């Protein structure tokens, strides 16, 4: 079980119903959490000295220190802000997008494909196979600095 999220255009928000946080056993949260659930300031595999404030996702060290393949680092989100949206940039972004889902290996098969429909947008499509084909599409709009689902809305429920 995982917390149920919906994209609001300014980050994923927990879904509340009847005053309670909703849970889901659906796999659709996984690509979103992998891409946008870590901390873009640093990756867990970066070196940190004693007493230095860590810039990676807090739960990686606390809960997943012995499971590096399951840690969230959101390399894709960081790369969106660093790699130019060009033909060579598209290839790099698509590779990084796939790496963010590598923690699913052994649990589900996955494939990521990326296109750049306009000079300031990226459309990322994730297909996750775990008994069925479940596809998710996200559009990153640099002009508006927001992430949209495939319907050009910000709700991924």
Residue of 114, 102, 157 lying closest to 138 (CA atoms): 114
Confidence (pTM): 0.69
Taking CA atoms, 60 is separated from 39, 42, 106, 146, in Å, by: 10, 12, 20, 25
Under 8 Å between Cβ of 114 and 122? yes
pLDDT score, position 146: 53
- Report for 4-8, 17-21, 47-51: range of highest mean pLDDT: 17-21
- Report for 43-47, 53-57, 111-115: range of highest mean pLDDT: 111-115
Largest CA distance in the chain: 48
With H, G, I as helix, E, B as strand and everything else as coil, classify residue 89: helix
Q: What percent of the chain has pLDDT over 70?
A: 73
The pLDDT of residue 130 is above 80: no
């Amino acid at each position: 079980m995982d917390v149920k999220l919906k994209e609001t255009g300014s980050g994923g928000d927990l879904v509340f119903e009847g005053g309670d946080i909703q849970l889901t056993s659906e796999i659709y949260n996984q690509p979103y959490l992998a891409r946008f659930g870590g901390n873009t300031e640093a990756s867990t595999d970066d070196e940190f000295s004693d007493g230095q404030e860590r810039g990676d996702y807090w739960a990686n060290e606390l809960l997943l220190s012995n499971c590096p393949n399951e840690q969230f680092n959101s390399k894709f989100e960081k790369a969106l802000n660093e790699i130019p949206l060009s033909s060579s940039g598209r290839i790099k972004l698509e590779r990084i997008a796939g790496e963010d889902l590598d923690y699913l290996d052994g649990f589900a098969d996955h494939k990521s494909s990326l296109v750049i429909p306009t000079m300031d947008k990226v459309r990322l499509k994730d297909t996750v196979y775990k008994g069925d084909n479940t596809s998710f599409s996200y559009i990153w709009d640099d002009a508006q600095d927001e992430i949209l689902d495939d319907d050009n809305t910000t709700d991924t429920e």
